[in-house]
Amino acid sequence: MYEKWSGRTRWRSVAPEVAVAHPLYGLKNWLVVFALAVLATPLIDVGTIYSLAQSTGATVWELIANDRPWVSFTRAGLGWETLCASAILWMMLTKSPYFRVGASDAPPHLVGVGRQHT
């Protein structure tokens, strides 16, 4: 459960019965939508690169192997995007306690990583 007080926020542990009774309990299928969006982002970018390669008459591998600065930047960006998407999906699928940290902008001590549930 998320709690706000005096301008600061933090997570607090509650009993399962209290959590189930809360109107915002559960993610239903929203987590699936999030996972598909995270997975689709690098795939859309690969499709854009493929489209660009086709319009220039080159293959994707020829375009990616180019040494121009914008191609190097695109390769690095796509690599970083794929790494981040893979990490978020891995944390989600393995039910890692660090998933909330990786998928949000909250500092770890506010999300409650490393604390025992009471």
pTM attached to this predicted model: 0.60
3 within 8 A of 9, measured Cβ to Cβ: yes
Q: What is the pLDDT of residue 102?
A: 65
Q: What is the pLDDT of residue 103?
A: 65
Q: What is the pLDDT of residue 15?
A: 85
State pLDDT tens for residues 47-103.
998 998 899 898 888 888 888 888 889 889 999 999 989 988 888 888 777 776 666
Residue 3: is its pLDDT beyond 60? no
Q: What is the pLDDT of residue 55?
A: 92
State pLDDT tens for residues 8-34.
556 677 888 887 887 667 766 778 888
